[in-house]
Amino acid sequence: MDSFEPDGNGAAQDLLHPPLPVPPDVKPIKAEFEPAKKKVAIVPMARHGLGSKGPKISILTNHFKVNVGNVDGHFFHYSVSLSYEDGRPVDGKGVGRKVIDRVHETYRSELAGKDFAYDGEKSLFTVGPLPNNKLEFTVVLEDVTSNRNASPDGHDSPNEHDRKRLRRPYQSKTFKVEISFAAKIPMQAIQNALRGQESENSQEALRVLDIILRQHAAKQGCLLVRQSFFQNNPNNFTDIGGGVLGCRGFHSSFRTTQGGLSLNIDVSTTLIIRPGPVVDFLLANQNVREPGSLDWNKAKRLLKNLRIKVSPSNQEYKITGLSDQFCKDQLFSLKQKSMKNENGEAETLEITVYDYFVNHRNIQLRYSAKMPCINVGKPKRPTYIPMELCSLVSLQRYTKALSTFQRASLVEKSRQKPQERMSVLSNALQSSNYGAEPMLRSCGVSISSNFTQVEGRVLPTPRLKVGNGEDFFPRNGRWNFNNKKLVEPARIERWAVVNFSTRCDINSLVRDLIRCGEMKGIHIDPPFDVFEERNQNRRSPPLARVENMFEEIQSKLPGAPQFLLCLLPDRKNSDLYGPWKRKNLAEFGIVTQCMAPTRVNDQYLTNVLLKINAKLGGLNSMLAIERTPSIPIVSKVPTMILGMDVSHGSPGQSDVPSIAAVVSSRQWPLISRYRASVRTQSPKLEMIDSLFKRVSDKEDEGIMREVLLDFYTSSGKRKPDQIIIFRY
């Protein structure tokens, strides 16, 4: 007989009732257990085959073959935690590498002599394990004191300050480092990826190899921008105006290819601040000649967080701001330790920064008196330095938006011929000296010094169709419309000319434009008017000039124009271009065409008319095969072709919305007719979040609904059976 423990009251616990008897006419149903769901593996779309048309040629690529000898080894991933002695986390950018390098130097035996790759943040990788899964270290970094050769902060007399500077040149900081095991990554995953067996480990293993490249570049003193590396070599700098330099470097990363693992190297360009005197940079950036014309509020925003070296000590600091007053007026309290008050405390002297440096430090200042000082201290405890003693250090990224002129200059000066590009890439691989990188040697990685040769094909030239049913073949990738009409020319009836101070014969320009249009089949009526910019507006800022011009246009035109021809002064990369386009396209939806009529001939005007015709809905040319069933996958089945991309603001513009653009084919079976849809979205968001956008239970304002409706209405009320998407 079973016994039961009494409950808290000394009584036996209640027994469960036995199950009720099943009636004879009821058949029990057996429960069927659901089989365990199998994890769905995401497999990339298989390639149907390789092309075969066209004669074969040999091509050199910017890939270098890589061999991996240690495929049986493992990468060990460790999590890194850095803190100060008092437990505060380390958040200073760039400090992590210095701390980890000191750990490697100081505790090499405790790390079993292991080399490692550190990503600069919270991940560290080794080949093979460290002695323990968790290691803790304490290291000391000697950082240059923030008081060396700085302007006074109110605590030292000049003589005492100098003696202290000589006696204690460094300020020590103690860091605690904790390294903890996180994961184990087999190197075999790289070999598996090369056989088409992709996995998370494959991407992680390649990421480790890329981190090794970044660390190697950092030790060479390079500026790192993701997987692009830039050396401090003036030969790589090109001035694009405004105190900004284009710095040429190279991109380097490992890639899996059909031919095996390769190192991809390519030319890369980033923007940096022009090194040298701070004042010279500000004058160039604001395009003024005299310091008295500088906008100091703008300068303060631009200089914050930049690094400078101070003369004569050559000490490096980070700028935290500018003084509120000019150097000759900015006061601070200087302790006079040689003079004591009745309580035995050092007396303080109110003195200007200018007076201190000139009379107490015997440093000659030529032009700092009427300029703010640079602050390298904290907001509540500033440390001021006269601006002429400060020079910007090299390799500091410029993250502001470029002007139109700077963008054009950067594009022009970044061009390279293939042979020059190959030479640059060969030199980049040689100077990188990856063969000496200890982590790559531990992995058994060897990199060929030869460009990888692959087989290519020259495709036959497509036949084009122009107006009047005429066909023609482009030659060497080029074609022109001399003596040819357009497939679907537009008709321009309501238009006007807008002249922003351009010196040219506008009447002659209009006559030539109308004549060239007739040759292409475009009928152009005479313009409604020519709007000349008023003399008093020519010195105004670009935005104000555009607003003034638009007000005049609105007051005189009887209605919205079909098209506006805008004449810009000197060159198209005028600062007026952006504001003018935004005003017309974004605010009013008016089609515009800008031109700088410096060298106008029939060929130039024809090219301009091709752009105008396309903007007004015309069709310049088309593939001859579009109206035939020569592309069965597209022409036999209603097919919509989409192209998608997202553009982002400059790296420093974190609050600028990203722009998603989608172009979609229309009027099936044509593939030369497209429409565009544009949306703004959250900054730096790469995924297009407005493809589907439900605003109510029955209403969708997404891009896909918009383009599907357009395809349906323009294609004889046919819905697409197929959608082909090109995502850039």
Element (H, E) at 642: strand 639-647
Q: What is the pLDDT of residue 422?
A: 93
In a domain, 14, yes or no: no
Say how many Å lie between the first and final Cα of the chain, rounded. 78
Residue with tokens 């003079």: 339
Mean pLDDT value of segment 521-539: 88
Percent of the chain with pLDDT over 70: 86
For 360, phi then psi, to 5°, come to -100, -35
Angle between helices 278-286 and 296-303 (to 10 degrees): 120
Secondary structure of 295-320 as H, E, C letters: CHHHHHHHHCCCEEEECCCCEEEECC
In a domain, 361, yes or no: yes
Looking at the structure, do residues 612 and 492 belong to the same domain, yes or no? Answer: yes
Q: What is the pLDDT of residue 172?
A: 63
Q: What is the pLDDT of residue 404?
A: 77
In a domain, 608, yes or no: yes
Residue 387's domain comprises 276-393
Least confident of 82-96, 141-155, 249-263, 399-413: 141-155
Mean pLDDT value of segment 141-162: 45
Bond prior to 277 in cis (omega within 30° of 0): no
CA distance 122 to 83: 12
Mean pLDDT value of segment 16-30: 65
Looking at the structure, do residues 707 and 582 belong to the same domain, yes or no? Answer: no
CA distance 265 to 250: 7
In a domain, 556, yes or no: yes
What does the DSSP 8-state code read for residue 694?
B
Least confident of 255-264, 339-348, 349-358, 547-556: 339-348
Residue with tokens 């040697």: 441
Cβ atoms of residues 621 and 465 within 8 Å: yes
For 247, phi then psi, to 5°, come to -110, 120
- Does the pLDDT of residue 144 top 50, yes or no? no
Looking at the structure, do residues 504 and 640 belong to the same domain, yes or no? Answer: no
In a domain, 690, yes or no: yes
Looking at the structure, do residues 489 and 612 belong to the same domain, yes or no? Answer: yes
CA distance 26 to 628: 70
> How many CB atoms lie under 10 A from the CB of residue 564?
23
**CATH code: domain of residue 637:** 3.30.420.10
Residue 401 tokens, joined: 């938006």
Distances (CA, A) of 206 to 180, 203, 726: 21, 5, 26
Residue 10 pLDDT class (50, 70, 90 cuts): very low
CA distance 490 to 616: 6
Higher pLDDT, 183 or 197: 183
Looking at the structure, do residues 359 and 328 belong to the same domain, yes or no? Answer: yes
> How many CB atoms lie under 10 A from the CB of residue 68?
21
Please give the single-letter amino acid code of residue 203: Q
In a domain, 362, yes or no: yes
Looking at the structure, do residues 321 and 371 belong to the same domain, yes or no? Answer: yes
SS3 608: helix
- Give the bridge partners for 678, in sequence order: 661
Cβ atoms of residues 231 and 405 within 8 Å: no
What tens digit of pLDDT does each residue of 268-324 get?
A: 999 999 999 999 999 999 988 888 888 999 999 999 999 999 988 888 899 999 999
Cβ atoms of residues 336 and 347 within 8 Å: yes
Looking at the structure, do residues 604 and 479 belong to the same domain, yes or no? Answer: yes
Query: Computed from CA positions of residues 154, 158, 160, 163, in that sequence, does the dihedral angle turn out positive or negative?
Result: positive
Looking at the structure, do residues 512 and 568 belong to the same domain, yes or no? Answer: yes
CA distance 265 to 62: 6
Q: What is the pLDDT of residue 212?
A: 93
- Counting every residue written for the chain, the total comes to 728
Residue 41 pLDDT class (50, 70, 90 cuts): low
Domain boundary among 337, 363, 393: 393
- In angstroms and rounded to an integer, the radius of gyration of the C-alpha atoms of the chain is 35
Looking at the structure, do residues 366 and 501 belong to the same domain, yes or no? Answer: no
Domain boundary among 566, 594, 622: 622
Percent helix, strand, coil in the chain (nearest 5)?
25, 30, 45
CA distance 666 to 712: 8
SS3 688: coil
**CATH code: domain of residue 364:** 2.170.260.10
Looking at the structure, do residues 473 and 597 belong to the same domain, yes or no? Answer: yes
Helical H segments across 557-642, by residue range: 577-581, 602-615, 632-635
Domain boundary among 393, 411, 439: 393
Element (H, E) at 66: strand 63-68
CA distance 455 to 507: 55
Angle between helices 602-615 and 506-520 (to 10 degrees): 70
- Does the pLDDT of residue 165 top 70, yes or no? no
Domain count for the chain: 3
Parallel/antiparallel/unpaired status of strands 134-144 and 123-127 = unpaired
**CATH code: domain of residue 477:** 3.40.50.2300
In a domain, 290, yes or no: yes
Secondary structure of 133-189 as H, E, C letters: CEEEEEEEEEEECCCCCCCCCCCCCHHHHHHHHHHCCEEEEEEEEEEEEEEEEECHH
Q: DSSP labels for 241-295? A: ETTEEEEEEEEEEEEEETTEEEEEEEEEEEEEEPPEEHHHHHHHHHT-SSGGG--
For 321, phi then psi, to 5°, come to 165, -170
Cβ atoms of residues 605 and 689 within 8 Å: no
In a domain, 221, yes or no: no
- Give the bridge partners for 326, in sequence order: 372
Looking at the structure, do residues 708 and 602 belong to the same domain, yes or no? Answer: no
Contacts for 299 with CB less than 8 Å, ≥ 6 apart: 282, 286, 322
Residue 117 tokens, joined: 């790759």
Q: What is the pLDDT of residue 164?
A: 36
Looking at the structure, do residues 567 and 480 belong to the same domain, yes or no? Answer: yes
CA distance 540 to 526: 31
For 541, phi then psi, to 5°, come to -60, 155
Distance of CA 232 to the CA centre of its chain: 21
What tens digit of pLDDT does each residue of 433-454 get?
A: 998 899 899 888 899 999 999 9
Q: Taking the model in full, what pTM does it have?
A: 0.74
- Does the pLDDT of residue 185 top 80, yes or no? yes
CA distance 260 to 191: 9
Parallel/antiparallel/unpaired status of strands 237-241 and 244-257 = antiparallel
